[in-house]
Amino acid sequence: MILELDCGNSFIKWRVINATEGAVVAGGIVDSDQALVAAVATLPEAPRRCRLVSVRSEEETASLSARLAQHFALDVVVAQPAREVSGVRNGYDDYQRLGLDRWLAVLGGFHLARGACLVMDFGTAAKADFVTADGEHLGGFICPGMPLMRSQLRTHTRRIRYDDASAERALSSLAPGRSTVEAVERGCVHMLQGFVRSQLEHAHGLWGENFTVLLTGGDALLVQQAAPQARVVPDLVFVGLAMACPLD
Ligand SMILES: Nc1ncnc2c1ncn2[C@@H]1O[C@H](COP(=O)(O)OP(=O)(O)OP(=O)(O)O)[C@@H](O)[C@H]1O
Ligand SMILES: CC(C)(CO)[C@@H](O)C(=O)NCCC(=O)O
Ligand SMILES: [K+]
């Protein structure tokens, strides 16, 4: 059994795969290192190895690795920046500065698309990355995702206040809002969908019709209607993680 972790800015996505077939046997989302340890401790069979990607600080990542090694005697492999992996060339001027979650989504995206692709990830931040048919990463864009947009509005205004349950209900439609919660939640979704459409336009300009669109991240489904041709791949970062950190 292999434990795989995607340590984002807000959540840790985890899953356990069978070392031989790669079948997913367990998984979840947690909001702290402790919650992760608790979740892994309840598994019927302890994983032997672990690979992870983190966009957190070196210290936070090292402390999580140490905790896992201590509790479960796991060998932890941490994804590292690279200039090139599996025929994909990192497009940043300084390849070490490209967020590793983006890099792995790019690797996974190119592997699945087998050609030019636009990879978009909707988490705490929203990201778009472009890869040509011959594996050249052209770079990409970063902007606030749904959680950051809504919290900026809530934090910097006096009269925008609502709870999570009403936020969820507000997203049953994208019509003009008739309450604060609807106006804000739907407004932010329109921002993200506008982002998606402009990335699609950019990709059309580069490649005409010859490209694949991949969507991932916790909020991918909120933008799906803006990219009806897109393939939604919730575990895209894990696809890239296996490529960047092969175990034996
Ligand atoms: N089961 C879930 N648990 C937590 N968040 C979820 C879940 N399903 C959807 N979401 C949404 O996903 C978003 C977080 O996405 P994700 O987990 O991809 O972010 P992250 O990895 O922390 O951020 P980033 O990738 O930008 O570092 C939140 O807006 C949240 O509402
Ligand atoms: C943009 C985020 C925060 C998204 O998780 C992450 O990919 C990151 O920390 N990137 C480093 C900056 C960059 O990619 O240019
Ligand atoms: K992420």
Residue 248 clears pLDDT 80, i.e. is over it: no
**Which residue of 9, 55, 61, 138 sits with most ligand 2 atoms within 8 Å of its CB, as the best mutation to test the pocket?**
55
Annotated binding-site residue? 101: yes
* Cα distances (angstroms) measured from residue 112 to each of 97, 119, 206, 214, 245: 24, 11, 20, 9, 17
Q: Provide the pLDDT confidence category of residue 53 given band limits of 50, 70 and 90.
A: very high
pLDDT tens digits, residue range 226-236? Answer: 999 999 999 99
Distance of CA 222 to the CA centre of its chain: 14
Catalytic annotation present for 235: no
CB 171 near ligand 1, within 6 Å: no
Give per-residue pLDDT as tens, 58-84.
999 999 999 999 999 998 999 999 999
d(CA 161, CA 98): 35
Find tokens 């897109």 and name the residue: 230
pLDDT over 80 at 130, yes or no: yes
Decide: 125 in ligand 2 pocket, CB within 6 A: yes
6 belongs to an annotated ligand binding site: yes
